[in-house]
Structure 1
Amino acid sequence: MAIKAYVLVVTDPGKTRHVHEAINGIPHVVELHEVMGPYDIVVEIEVDSLQDIPTILGERIRTIDGIQSTTSLVTLPD
């Protein structure tokens, strides 16, 4: 069973489009939306193991130039 997580991303001013394009090519990203409010982008990821989430965040998402911060929400099983 796949594990889903939502990553709420805050970007530097003027960098939202750049960050969106960079995240779009990352494996395990299944949905990606620019939003209004305290966050700029909502990313849905789907992985096989809970241990994959910190790797994707730390090595693939948080390293993108223009990201100020991320907040992760891991869904509970049905």
Structure 2
Amino acid sequence: MACLVEALVLINAASGVMDKVHEGVKNIKEVRKARKVDGPHDIVAVVEIEAVGEIRDALMNKIRNIEGVKETITNLIIS
């Protein structure tokens, strides 16, 4: 069994499109869980990939290209 890499992605959405961004994030195959949250970020997603290098593809090419995503912060889960 391969050792998977997990990351938390904190996402800020443009005003009025949080629901649309949330739906887009949930539909990405690497996203295991996505929740709308209260606080400085709008959405928190748990991303699961096979190699750290895939974070760029999961994040840059998929999450950041969802219309309405303003900013993301990615945190690797280390334990």
Alignment partners' CA distance in 2, 1:28 and 1:58: 13
Amino acid at match of 2:14: D
Indicate the residue corresponding to 2:74 in structure 1: 72
Q: For 1:6, what is the secondary structure of its paired residue?
A: strand
Alignment partners' CA distance in 2, 1:9 and 1:47: 18
Indicate the residue corresponding to 1:16 in structure 2: 18
Q: Matches of residues 52-63 of structure 1 in structure 2 within 5 Å?
A: 52-63=54-65
TM-score by length of 1: 0.95
TM-score by length of 2: 0.94
Structure 1 gaps of 5+ residues are: none
Offset of residue 75 of structure 1: 1.1
Do structure 1's residue 37 and structure 2's residue 57 form an aligned pair? no
Aligned pairs, how many?
77
Identity %: 30
